[in-house]
Amino acid sequence: MDNIFKHKTFQNINFKDKSLIVTALTHKSANQKINNEKLEFLGDRVIGLVLSKKLFDLYPNETEGVLDKRFAILVRKKTCCDIAWNLELQNLIIAGNKKYEITKKDEKILSDCCEAVIGAIFIDQGFNFVKKFILKAWKKDLDKSDITVLDSKTKLQEYSLKKFKKLPIYRLVSSSGPKHNPLYKISVSIVGTKTYIGAGRSKQEAELDGANRLLKNQNIS
């Protein structure tokens, strides 16, 4: 446990309740009763509040729709996974199989852990402290948020609505692999196209992959 609090991410935080961080780093495969799921739920909301307020202040003249797209990129699983990786949380996560090595492919585990850690810091240190922690951790992503990037799902939805007045259709094809590292396959189609299959470690990732495949194969820019 001592290695957790000597870690660069936590060494300068004077925790009142150290068990909170241990719980935040505990995946349910290691402990079905005491794990990071509830802290993840809380952390997700704290991150959302801090980043939405920051975007509100950064872009006072933007429409709600544009702010929402910027926000979605900042809080998506891939971004939270990258934040966790940058904080080197992968070296601290407690999973059921001690021989299991967390890699960048474990997007859900890493993103959930990131949110749980934020939740734990919020409870232990309060809002002002966790706000500074979040803004520092997300600084590079916030700096890039002045560039509006439409993800493949958004592009496909806008195209389909404009051309056919209908939304793309997504369907779960399969879910395989262990609970802590599942692989989803999801089909996507729009009017007049065949069905394309996307794969990913989360449903959102699989949908993005499927949408991207459809856009590329149909030469939709």
Interval 158-190: pLDDT, tens: 899 999 999 999 999 999 988 888 899 999 999
Check: CATH 1.10.1520.10 for 2-144? yes
The model's pTM: 0.68
Nearest to 79 by CA among 102, 47, 39, 46: 47
What is the structure's pLDDT at 112?
95
Question: Can 205 be counted among the known catalytic residues?
Answer: no
Using pLDDT thresholds of 50, 70 and 90, give the confidence band for residue 150.
low
CA angle 10, 73, 216 (to 5 degrees): 135
Catalytic residue among 82, 107, 112, 115: 115
Pick the CATH number of 152-217 from 3.30.160.20, 3.40.50.620, 3.40.50.150, 3.40.1410.10: 3.30.160.20
Indicate the SS3 state at residue 196.
strand
Question: Can 44 be counted among the known catalytic residues?
Answer: yes
pLDDT tens by residue, 70-95: 898 899 999 999 999 999 999 999 88
CA distance 14 to 19: 13
Using CA atoms, how far residue 152 sits from 24, 32, 44, 66, 73, in Å, is: 32, 36, 23, 15, 12
pLDDT tens by residue, 33-71: 999 999 999 999 999 999 999 999 998 887 787 788 789
Question: What tokens appear for 189 in the block?
Answer: 């189609």
Catalytic residue among 44, 106, 151, 209: 44
What is the structure's pLDDT at 170?
97
Using CA atoms, how far residue 179 sits from 101, 108, 169, 209, in Å, is: 15, 11, 26, 21
CA distance 13 to 17: 11
What is the structure's pLDDT at 2?
66
Domain residues of the chain, as ranges? 2-144, 152-217
CA distance 170 to 191: 12
Report the greatest alpha carbon distance in the chain: 59
Mean per-residue pLDDT over the chain, rounded: 90
